[in-house]
Amino acid sequence: MPDSQQADDEIHEDQLLNFLVNTLTGAFSLNLGENADIDAEDIFEVLVGACADGTSVSELCDVSKDAPPATNILYHLRSKFDFDTVASVGNLLLQRDVIEHLPEQVEVVVDLHLRPYYGDEDETSGLYHSEAKAGTTAFHAYATLYARVRNKRYTLAVRRLEDGDTASSVLAEFLGVLEGLDPEVKAVYLDRGFYDGKCLTLLQAHNYAYVTPVVKWGEAIQEELDQGWSRTIEHDLTTEFDGHEWTVEFPVYIDCTYQNGRYDEHGVARHGYAVDASFIDTPRQARQHYSKRFGIESSYRLSEKTTISTTTRDATQRLLFVVISLLFQNVWRYLHWEYVATPRRGGRRLWKWSFEEFIDMVTRAAWTALAVRRAVPANRPPDDRFER
């Protein structure tokens, strides 16, 4: 990182590991019993190390001298965590250090993420089924709620999806989370999976401004999105609930651009957005504002770098691993702003400290704490080629 003008103090690798382990240990109360060979810190130290290293619990324990046996860790993961606790405590954990840094008005994003399941087709109960993607229709699926602040993204909540879950039920839960927060919501940007009459009705009932891409349902909207130039049209969706039908009306902003060979495509690309936001006046503004949501997907790309490798279908363990992965990003952004950035008039100076460097620091600290193997047995002494 930059020169000594930045600050008088430093945060070392082992302190980053301590911060993450202490955060998790303080949030989850584990009763391991008086005769247990390990404690909660041992469990979370391994989980944080595996998350940072992108490896499995078993692999990390197998190559570490000071790590508990993997069987002990996995046993406590199966027996000491329950799904409802992980879900509720996990969301509180994600919000804890974030809330105080949110401004009075925030933009939020609701997104869906599908992780393909390639196991036995007869063992897909409890998984989420959707349109075919990456060679499967069964997924470990999660919905996430983010706040976007100063071009940084903070996770506020995560929810696991199962077959039978609807977009409107997930959105209703997330709107309940927003109602419990102090900041005012400027706008909600939604994944196209939330484009339906119930979701738009919910947003209008809560008086939230929103932007979501239009799905080509019906000949009328297909025709509108297949011809013409940038414009605004009126559209509606009819939905049914408890035997009653109602119609929600909204404007659709259609923005048109020339593709000019982008992604090997040519001609006119038409993007339609369902919009109810006073600060959006034109189709181009609708597209520009919604493009902020695409930045959110980088959070998933980052989370893939801090995902514990596992083949388990246990919903509780998988949700816990996702919570820890998303916590990594929140902690990095919190520490970067609160401890690393230099306070100054006109706003803090954010010194360069990438997420990749943060992960590497935590990984090295975990390797040291767990005494990860740094040498392998050899059947003969290394020769001169091993010296320099």
DSSP one-letter string for 211-241? EEEPP--SHHHHHHHTSS-SEEEEEEEEEEE
The 10 Å Cβ neighbour count of residue 27 is 17
Q: What pLDDT, on a 0 to 100 scale, did the predictor assign at position 19?
A: 97
C-alpha to C-alpha distance for 286 and 289, rounded to whole angstroms: 5
- pLDDT, residue 8, reads 64
* pLDDT score at 342: 79
Could you tell me how far CA 193 lies from the centroid of its own chain? 16
Are 300 and 122 spatial neighbours (Cβ–Cβ below 8 Å)? no
For residue 331, the cross-strand partners are: none
| Per-residue confidence (pLDDT) for residue 226, from 0 to 100 | 83
Record the tokens describing residue 33, joined without a space. Answer: 């019993």
Strand partners for 370: none
Closest by CA to 189, choosing from 329, 295, 298, is 295
Q: Tell me which residues of the chain have a pLDDT lower than 70.
A: 1-8, 261, 263-264, 293-303, 346-347
Quote the tokens at residue 312. 């388990």
Q: Residue 149: enclosing H or E segment and its boundaries?
A: strand 136-149
DSSP 16-51: HHHHHHHHHHHH------TT-SS-HHHHHHHHHHHH
Instruction: Give the pLDDT confidence score for residue 300 in this predicted structure.
Output: 60
**Residues 246 and 272: beta-carbon distance below 8 Å:** no
Q: What is the DSSP letter of 191?
A: -
DSSP 240-252: EETTEEEEEEEEE
Residues 17 and 362 sit within 8 Å (Cβ to Cβ):
yes
Q: How many CA atoms lie within 13 A of 96 on its CB side?
A: 16
Residue 119 three-state SS = coil
* pLDDT confidence of residue 23: 95
pTM of the model: 0.88
**Long-range pairs, 135-142, Cβ under 8 A, ≥24:** 139/114, 139/115, 140/114, 140/115, 140/318, 141/112, 141/113, 141/114, 141/115, 142/112, 142/113, 142/115, 142/319, 142/322
